[in-house]
């Protein structure tokens, strides 16, 4: 009897075996390209189904490697491709200062990817301790999650583009798919994503399980949206001021007075709009927000400038202003200040704690100097502001918002989060969109609304479900006036943080590795 046609799943596995059967440099090049292809899953492309192909090929390459060392090399090349393509936009920051650092242009993204690639090599090598098939797939998913989470310990931390962020689709569907982050965080979503991507390797049964898992995932998200409506709360009518000042103009300190006047004019217009908004009241005060380093000078030392800002924002409870400052020890800090009426006093102050390596501080291992001067000094960590007339706020500066479980003070939970940033360095690329996706994910994880003011965009407000309430797009000058909705009760992730995905990952790793070790001991006996 003639054999019938192979099922699609088995054809896929056979194809994966043929493609991943390369050896030597050909296998390395293949994994580099497969990893780069996987970057299409990240925002703003959001082509998450591509991960089924990419992780299927990676796992087949791991299985066919001659040893754990070969498997680790396949994982390293995959990670190198994934992060080089996912971080291509870093090159734009070098181009801003190309007259000085032109030689770094081809090295920026690959250089960072070289640092991150071992976090993909390690799970690829270690999963070989588990038996091929289901045990190895489970071990790999858990190991990938743990090593991906370990990126917070590289320099000052760089957990950019976790695979869990690939579910941040536009609209209500995306809102539903990211709701489980309130229980397990973005790293828990990463764990589930890797598992779903590997299941089709099991054939028809695996495909059915993947589809069932996807259905349960989506249903859980929809159920949470329906069961926990966002309350009105008492949060402010926020005025996000987007000055749209080119980074070259900021660096050259050109027309600082004109830049300041622009922000004052936008603030006056925005606060007037906020006070005309039906939501504005004593319980919903107006708060205006300027982006990271928006003030062209040292605001803490400039009494007159603060008074002018307070007058421009007359009627608002406070203004949240990004500015560089010099502390009492002479150290430079990237800060944000709450400026209050009527005299423009600094009612609250926050210094950035997570500094950008190569941008705000100089890693000691570099044999050349990149950061101007001595760089910045880091602040003590997240704080909650209690400014009279303004709901308790949790300030975050720039990429601090990418650190899951580290955005709100545990002992003094804020009512809302405010993130100031300047993505003008990275141009109209995927970088600002990926950064915005991190903001949205933090809202879901913590059950807190987030307002984000960006110099060149994208400024936006998300409610406690991660639903977008308003947006001011890239490369636009203007104000975004949005009533910020209330917060939700503390989420499980907000309470227990990253311990939840760690425990889930270990629950997959330990049984599979223990089973393999026990079998080997039994055979030797």
pLDDT tens-digit map of 292-347: 999 999 999 999 999 999 999 999 999 999 999 998 888 899 999 999 988 899 99
Burial bucket for residue 456 (CB in 10 Å: 0-12, 13-18, 19+): buried
Instruction: Provide CB contacts within 8 A for 77, sequence distance 6+.
Output: 28, 29, 31, 32, 35, 117
pLDDT score of 153? 84
Bridge partner list, 471 = 460
pLDDT of residue 5: 47
What mean pLDDT comes out for the span 34-60? Answer: 95
Asked whether residue 20 carries a pLDDT value surpassing 60, the answer given is no
Q: Is 398 a catalytic residue?
A: yes
Q: What is the pLDDT of residues 192-208, one digit of tens each?
A: 999 999 999 998 999 99
> Is residue 479 within 8 Å of 440, Cβ to Cβ?
no
- Whole-number pLDDT of residue 10: 47
Catalytic residue among 398, 400, 445, 446: 398
Give the mean model confidence (pLDDT) for residues 167-182: 95
Is 292 annotated as catalytic? Answer: yes
Q: With bands split at pLDDT 50, 70 and 90, how would you rate the model's confidence at 424?
A: confident
Which strands sit side by side in the sheet containing 478-483, from one edge to the other? 345-351, 332-340, 318-326, 286-289, 237-242, 478-483
**Is 192 an active-site residue?**
no
> Residue 511 CB: number of other CB atoms within 10 A?
15
- Residue 519, pLDDT > 60, answer no
d(CA 334, CA 354): 10
Q: To the nearest whole percent, how much of the chain has pLDDT over 70?
A: 88
Q: Is the pLDDT of residue 64 over 70?
A: yes
Mean pLDDT is lowest, of 57-66, 476-485, 512-521, for: 512-521
H helix runs in 401-429, sequence order: none
- pTM of this prediction? 0.90
Distance CA 103, CA 68 (A): 36
Residue 6 has pLDDT above 60, yes or no: no
Helix (H) or strand (E) holding 54: helix 50-64
Q: Round the CA-based radius of gyration of the chain to a whole number and report it.
A: 25
Q: Do the Cβ atoms of 175 and 53 come closer than 8 Å?
A: no
State residue 1's pLDDT score. 38
Residue 524 pLDDT exceeds 60: no
Three-state DSSP at 37 gives helix
Digit-coded pLDDT (tens) for 433-452: 999 999 999 999 999 999 99
Whole-number Å distance between alpha carbons of 493 and 17: 39
Set 168, 250, 341, 352: catalytic member: 352
- The residues, ordered by sequence, that sit 6+ positions from 15 with a Cβ below 8 Å of its Cβ are none
**In whole numbers, what is the pLDDT of the chain averaged over residues?**
89
Percent of the chain with pLDDT over 90: 70
Considering the candidates 292, 341, 400, 445, report the single residue annotated as catalytic.
292
Per-residue pLDDT, averaged over 394-420, amounts to 94
SS3 helix, strand, coil % of the chain, rounded to 5?
50, 15, 35
| pLDDT tens digits, one per residue of 85-109 | 999 988 887 776 766 665 667 778 8
pLDDT at 9: 46
| Local structure of 213: helix, strand or coil | helix
CA-CA-CA-CA torsion sign (103, 104, 105, 106): positive
Map out the domains of the chain with their CATH numbers.
Answer: 8-227+498-524 (no CATH), 237-488 (3.60.110.10)
pLDDT in tens, 369-400: 555 656 778 889 999 999 999 999 999 999 89
**What is the predicted pLDDT for the residue at 263?**
96
Look at the chain and count its residues.
525
* φ, ψ at 460 (rounded to 5°): -160, 165
């Amino acid at each position: 009897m003639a054999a019938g046609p192979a099922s699609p799943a088995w054809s896929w596995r056979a194809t994966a075996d043929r493609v991943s059967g390369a050896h030597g440099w050909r296998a390395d090049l293949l994994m580099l390209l497969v990893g780069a292809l996987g970057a299409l899953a990240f925002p703003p492309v959001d082509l998450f189904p591509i991960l089924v192909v990419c992780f299927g090929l990676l796992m087949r390459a791991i299985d066919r490697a001659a040893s754990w060392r070969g498997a680790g090399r396949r994982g390293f090349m995959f990670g190198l491709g994934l992060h080089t393509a996912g971080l291509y936009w870093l090159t734009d920051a070098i181009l801003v200062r190309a007259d000085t650092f032109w030689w770094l242009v081809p090295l920026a993204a690959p250089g960072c990817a070289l640092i991150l690639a071992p976090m993909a090599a390690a799970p690829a090598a270690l999963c070989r301790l588990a038996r091929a098939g289901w045990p190895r797939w489970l071990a790999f998913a858990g190991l990938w999650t743990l090593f991906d989470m370990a990126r917070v310990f590289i320099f000052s931390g760089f957990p950019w583009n976790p695979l869990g962020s690939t579910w941040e689709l536009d609209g209500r569907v995306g809102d539903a798919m990211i709701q489980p982050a309130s229980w397990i965080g973005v790293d828990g979503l990463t764990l589930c994503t890797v598992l779903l991507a590997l299941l089709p390797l099991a054939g028809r049964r695996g495909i059915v399980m993947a589809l069932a898992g996807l259905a349960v995932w989506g249903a859980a998200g929809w159920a949470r949206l329906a069961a926990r409506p966002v309350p009105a709360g008492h949060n402010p009518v926020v005025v996000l001021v987007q000055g749209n000042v080119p980074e070259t103009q900021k660096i050259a300190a050109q027309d600082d007075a004109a830049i300041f006047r622009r922000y004052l004019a936008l603030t006056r217009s925005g606060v007037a709009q906020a006070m005309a908004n039906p939501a504005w009241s004593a319980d919903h005060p107006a708060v205006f927000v300027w982006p990271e380093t928006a003030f062209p000078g040292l605001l803490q030392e400039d009494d007159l400038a603060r008074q002018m800002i307070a007058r421009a924002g007359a009627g608002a409870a406070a203004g949240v202003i990004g500015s560089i400052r010099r502390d009492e020890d002479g150290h430079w800090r990237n800060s944000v200040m709450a400026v209050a009426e009527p005299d423009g006093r600094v009612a609250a102050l926050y210094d950035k704690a997570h500094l950008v390596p190569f941008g705000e501080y100089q890693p000691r291992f570099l044999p050349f100097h990149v950061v101007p001067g001595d760089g910045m000094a880091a602040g003590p960590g997240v704080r909650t502001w209690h400014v009279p007339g303004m709901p308790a706020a949790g300030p975050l500066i720039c990429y601090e918002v990418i650190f899951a479980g580290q955005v709100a003070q545990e002992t003094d939970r804020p009512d809302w989060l405010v993130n100031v940033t300047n993505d003008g360095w990275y141009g109209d690329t995927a970088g600002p969109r990926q950064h915005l996706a991190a903001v949205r994910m933090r809202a879901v994880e913590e059950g807190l609304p987030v307002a984000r003011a960006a110099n060149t965009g994208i400024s936006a407000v998300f409610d406690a479900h991660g639903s977008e309430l308003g947006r001011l797009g890239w490369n636009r000058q203007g104000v975004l006036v949005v009533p910020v909705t209330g917060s939700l009760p503390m989420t499980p992730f907000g309470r227990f943080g990253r311990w939840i995905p760690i425990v889930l990952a270990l629950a997959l790793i330990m049984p599979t590795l223990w089973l393999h070790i026990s079998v080997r001991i039994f055979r030797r006996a």
